[in-house]
Amino acid sequence: MTNTELWNRRKAALGPTYSHFYDEPINIVKGEGVWLFDKHGNKYLDGLSGVAVNTLGHNHHALVKAISKQASKLIHISNYYHIEEQSMLADALVGISKLSSVFFCNSGCEANEAAIKLARLHGHKLGIDTPNIIVMEGGFHGRTMGTLSASGGRKYQAGFEPLMPGFIRVPYDDIAALKKIADQKNKISAILIEPIQGEGGINIPDNFSAYLSSLRNICDENDWLLMLDEVQCGIGRTGKWFAHQHSEIKPDVMTLAKGLASGVPIGACVTNDKASSLMAPGKHGSTFGGNPLACVAGLTTLEIIEKECLINNANVQGDLIYKELTLRIGEHPGVKSIRHMGLMIGVELAMPCVDLINIALDDKLLINVTADNVVRLLPPLVIKKEEVMLLVEKLSDLILNFLEKNYK
């Protein structure tokens, strides 16, 4: 099938939901480690991991074996019945998070919807008829109507009005603004925040630990729930199991998805006793959430991360990418900032750079640009030093050539 035929087939069969930045469509047919291959045998270095999804890279033999084995036994059964694989994954998540219980669903936005429901229930318990949730400017929590309303970007919300009420926005990494809202007693029941803003441009608080500690203190002082959206930054990506573990705090609610099952759809809303006690049978549910296949994929992902020391690898390789990019392009006036935590890396340029996605694709490198001018790197946690050096070499040359042609 020619490229033109591929385009026509896609346009005829699929809705116009996703933007495509490439000039010619590519048809990826297989993967191995950090590499992807198209139907013509071309080899691409994956610097995006399906947007932080392919934690273990592609075609990890132990994950494939576990999924295949489970699929041959049982793929789905209703949550009316005991699902042992679900209990095992919940136990594992409780163990590494030091929280209390887990609700399983199928995606990050579903996990965040569960968190929003918990915040509403908590507000009603406090005697608030119409509780509000504080969210951050530049935040992103999903594309359902609830999570879209909680997100901070107008480009995602435009055309879907009226949005769901009940959210108050404050600037990210601004404790003074939060305290001002708290002093106004605006019928608030919770804060919902990404510890590191992914879609917003890999935004990391200037003093990460102090910022999260202040959030925790404000919530404790006002009896609010602290709800952390770790859909993108969780599961080892930042060099800890969860990004908030770079501080001393624990949330009341934490949402997970993306990398939890290395490509198999899954979401999780992890809670402490205070938050989990708000729910009761029949209050919430999910048909597919916590099915045996997804839970085996999740449990195997956690086991492999532990066995192969991939959290440490995220630290080592993330630091190497940051160091090498800083050496090669950090002094260029067109590079505003290079920031990272583990293998969550952003290179902010002084100009829009969406064209870099297609330019990189031509050089057989998969990257992403978010917030118009931030190159986002989210490589698999299995990436090795030699692959890091190749990624850095390719990306540095691409950025420098791009700036030479476009930066004034």
Domain termination residue (choose one: 307, 333, 367) = 307
**338 in any annotated domain:** yes
Question: Side by side, which strands form the sheet with 132-136?
Answer: 101-105, 267-271, 253-256, 225-229, 188-193, 132-136, 167-170
- For 137-243, list the strands marked E by DSSP: 167-170, 188-193, 225-229
Phi, psi for residue 19 in degrees, rounded to 5:
-80, 145
Distance of alpha carbon 215 from alpha carbon 220, whole angstroms: 9
Q: Give the pLDDT score at 9.
A: 77
**45 in any annotated domain:** yes
Here the CATH number for the domain that contains residue 235 is 3.40.640.10
**239 in any annotated domain:** yes
Structural domain tally of the chain?
2
Distance of alpha carbon 28 from alpha carbon 40, whole angstroms: 9
Distance of alpha carbon 95 from alpha carbon 70, whole angstroms: 23
Low-confidence residues in the chain, pLDDT < 70: 1, 3, 20-23
Same domain, 97 and 161: yes
**67 in any annotated domain:** no
Q: Give the pLDDT score at 155.
A: 80
Same domain, 351 and 329: yes
Tokens 């084995």, residue located? 69
Same domain, 223 and 344: no
Q: Give the pLDDT score at 376.
A: 98
Here the CATH number for the domain that contains residue 50 is 3.90.1150.10
Residue 374's H or E segment, with its range, is: strand 374-377
DSSP 8-state class, residue 201: T
- For 8-49, list the strands marked E by DSSP: 28-32, 35-38, 43-46
Domain termination residue (choose one: 258, 284, 307) = 307
Domain termination residue (choose one: 271, 287, 307) = 307
Q: Give the pLDDT score at 16.
A: 76
Distance of alpha carbon 332 from alpha carbon 265, whole angstroms: 40
Same domain, 367 and 252: no
**65 in any annotated domain:** no
Of 254, 214, 252, 249, nearest in space to 235 by CA = 254
CA atoms within 13 A on the CB side of 211: 20
Same domain, 193 and 110: yes
DSSP 8-state class, residue 24: S
What is the pairing mode between strands 188-193 and 132-136? parallel
DSSP 8-state class, residue 125: H
Whole-angstrom CA distances from 73 to 84, 276, 287 are 13, 32, 19
Same domain, 186 and 272: yes
**69 in any annotated domain:** no
**360 in any annotated domain:** yes
pLDDT one-digit tens code per residue, 311-343:
999 999 999 999 999 999 999 999 999 999 999
Distance of alpha carbon 198 from alpha carbon 380, whole angstroms: 16
Whole-angstrom CA distances from 218 to 43, 118, 211, 221, 250 are 50, 18, 11, 5, 13
Q: Give the pLDDT score at 22.
A: 67
Same domain, 10 and 128: no
Q: Give the pLDDT score at 23.
A: 66
Q: Give the pLDDT score at 60.
A: 98
List the domain range (segments joined by +) for residue 78: 74-307
Same domain, 105 and 221: yes
Same domain, 48 and 100: no
Same domain, 98 and 175: yes
Full DSSP string of 248-304: S---SEEEE-GGGGTTS--EEEEE-HHHHTT--TTS---SSTT-HHHHHHHHHHHHH
**66 in any annotated domain:** no
Q: How far apart are the first and last CA of the chain?
A: 42
CA atoms within 13 A on the CB side of 381: 34
Residue 88's H or E segment, with its range, is: helix 84-97
Q: Give the pLDDT score at 21.
A: 63
Same domain, 318 and 290: no
Same domain, 36 and 149: no
